[in-house]
């Protein structure tokens, strides 16, 4: 059964002014039509921004307690829809049922966390030289554009819309064209909970509407999560006074030292590399393993990769779903073929589609592992965003740290070792915004800051947690008061 997805503009669910529509089909089975949604353009974007500019002040005027209560109710609405949301998420994005259940469960938790942040966002009192009252206050920054990716189509939008609304802002939301239905489900819950329709807009479509949205200089802030290429294009057009928060790609290394428990290391690596079908910005993409344990570790990783079963996420016993789109599959397979041409040694998986008539209708890629990877090759340096792992041999922690930082990215990095001193040295020296010790490179706590270094982020403001996050969505005023 397919859904009719529409834009939300000036408080009304409407089609695009273009009259054009796009289809989203199940990436595990292209026969399954999930939704039909608008192909919006610049006129739609202009109307959406105008509508929120005219309507968001009612929301801003509500007290922090009232805004927090709305987010609490939205969390409850989503929890009541858990079963249907899990099935829709699997069909639309391609996750397994277990992965979708985790995301659907996490999203209400996010909204409740941000509901609390509405009350914790405070100013300060400052000693004055003349005895007057000197203090700062914090209010909403204005109207925020939120542009989100397809790989976590509920969780990541909730990490942007939640704090933006908690602070009293208006929001123009552009979900990925790959996952329009999940975007609408989140907004529907917010509206049902009490967010005024004039305070939020939703735009569907492709690059044209995104470009029009970020070029609109009436917006006060832009928050984006996605590829580095798109993030850089956004950064090139925004005006200096527009707040911009960009979280982008990664080429995340896992270092394995000679003292590591190799079974533990292989399990962590397989989870980080092949979970979510490799479609996570923090996924493990490179393994930098000490030469003394290289062969034994590779054998363990290859065995785990070969044992994973890919298929439709609604099928019991499936470990990994498809790539989200046909284009994404072609891109991943292209990297596999290029690695073979570059002389890397294939030890698991490969470019050929997995066996099975049912799998021929979807965008499936086998979990793939390469060794003997040239450090200068595309596989060792470029973000693949699929279940493909490059294993490189190193001779020391020094070399591992050097190679870990050799790419343009600096998002997540991990190390497996029993040596606390070397682990802490790695944490200090590796150029990554997120460091995981004896854990997967994926996964974060909602109350911890999240963001990368180098070309993985603008580094203007952290996502997710606490005061630093809310600072992005609020504007400070300094007030001098004399009686």
Cα 359-36-353 angle, rounded to 5 deg: 15
CA distance 206 to 70: 30
Catalytic residue among 248, 281, 373, 430: 281
CA distance 73 to 111: 9
Number of H helices, E strands in the chain: 16, 22
SS3 5: coil
* Nearby residues of 456 by Cβ (< 8 Å), 6 or more positions away: 228, 247, 248, 249, 250, 281, 409, 410, 411, 433
Task: State the chain's maximal CA–CA distance in angstroms.
Answer: 81
Strands 33-38 and 21-25: antiparallel
The answer to whether 198 touches 10, Cβ cutoff 8 Å, is yes
CA distance 187 to 234: 24
Token duo for residue 21:
């529509």
Query: What's the 3-state SS for 45-110?
Result: HHHHHHHHHHHCHHHHCCCHHHHHHHHHHHHHHHHHCHHHHHHHHHHHHCCCHHHHHHHHHHHHHH
Number of CB atoms found within 10 A of residue 236's CB: 8
- Given strand 33-38, what is the order of strands in its sheet? 3-4, 33-38, 21-25
Report how far apart the first and last C-alpha atoms of the chain are (Å, whole number): 66
281 in catalytic set = yes
Query: At residue 259, what are phi and psi to the nearest 5 degrees?
Result: -95, 0
Number of CB atoms found within 10 A of residue 132's CB: 11
CA distance 283 to 201: 31
CA dihedral 233, 11, 159, 451 (to 10 degrees): 20
Cα 118-124-130 angle, rounded to 5 deg: 155
Hey, which residues are catalytic here? 281
């Amino acid at each position: 059964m397919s859904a009719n997805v529409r834009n939300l503009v000036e408080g009304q669910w409407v089609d695009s002014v273009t009259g054009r529509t796009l289809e989203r089909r199940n990436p595990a089975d292209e026969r399954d039509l999930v939704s039909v949604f608008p192909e919006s353009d610049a006129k739609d974007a202009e109307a959406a921004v105008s509508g929120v500019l005219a309507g968001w002040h009612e929301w801003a005027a509500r007290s922090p307690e009232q805004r927090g209560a709305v987010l609490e109710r939205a969390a409850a609405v989503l929890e009541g829809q858990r079963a249907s949301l899990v099935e829709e998420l699997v069909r639309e994005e391609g996750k397994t049922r277990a992965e979708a259940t985790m995301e659907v469960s996490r999203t209400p938790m996010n909204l409740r966390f941000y509901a609390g942040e509405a009350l914790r966002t405070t100013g300060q009192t400052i000693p004055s030289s003349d005895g007057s009252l000197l203090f700062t206050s914090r209010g909403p920054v204005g109207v925020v554009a939120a542009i989100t990716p397809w790989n976590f189509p509920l969780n990541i939008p909730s990490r942007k819309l939640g704090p933006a609304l908690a602070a009293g802002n208006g929001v123009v939301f552009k979900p990925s064209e790959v996952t329009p239905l999940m975007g609408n489900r989140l907004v529907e819950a917010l509206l049902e909970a009490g967010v005024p329709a004039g305070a939020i807009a939703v735009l569907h479509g492709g690059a044209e509407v995104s470009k029009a949205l970020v070029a609109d200089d009436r917006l006060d802030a832009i928050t984006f999560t996605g590829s580095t290429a798109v993030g850089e294009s956004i950064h090139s057009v925004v005006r200096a006074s527009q707040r911009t928060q960009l979280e982008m790609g990664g080429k995340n290394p896992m270092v394995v030292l000679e003292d590591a428990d190799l079974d533990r290391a292989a399990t962590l690596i397989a989870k980080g590399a092949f979970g979510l079908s490799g479609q996570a910005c923090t996924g493990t993409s490179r393994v930098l393993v000490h030469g003394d344990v290289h062969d034994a570790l590779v054998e363990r990783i290859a065995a785990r990769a070969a044992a994973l079963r890919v298929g439709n996420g609604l099928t019991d016993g499936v470990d990994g779903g498809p790539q989200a789109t046909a284009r994404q599959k072609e891109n991943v397979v292209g990297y596999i073929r290029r690695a073979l041409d570059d002389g890397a040694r294939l030890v698991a998986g490969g470019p050929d589609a997995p066996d099975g008539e049912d799998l021929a209708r979807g965008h499936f890629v086998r979990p793939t592992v390469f060794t003997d990877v040239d450090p200068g090759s595309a596989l060792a340096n470029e973000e693949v965003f699929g279940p493909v792992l490059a294993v490189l041999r190193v001779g020391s922690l020094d070399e591992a740290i050097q190679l870990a930082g050799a790419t343009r990215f600096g998002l997540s990095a991990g190390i497996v070792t029993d040596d606390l001193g070397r682990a802490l040295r790695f944490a200090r020296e590796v150029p990554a915004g997120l460091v995981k010790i004896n854990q997967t490179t994926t996964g974060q706590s909602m109350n911890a800051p999240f963001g990368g270094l180098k070309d993985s982020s603008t580094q203007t403001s952290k996502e997710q947690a606490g005061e630093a996050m809310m600072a992005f969505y609020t504007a400070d005023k300094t007030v001098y008061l004399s009686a």
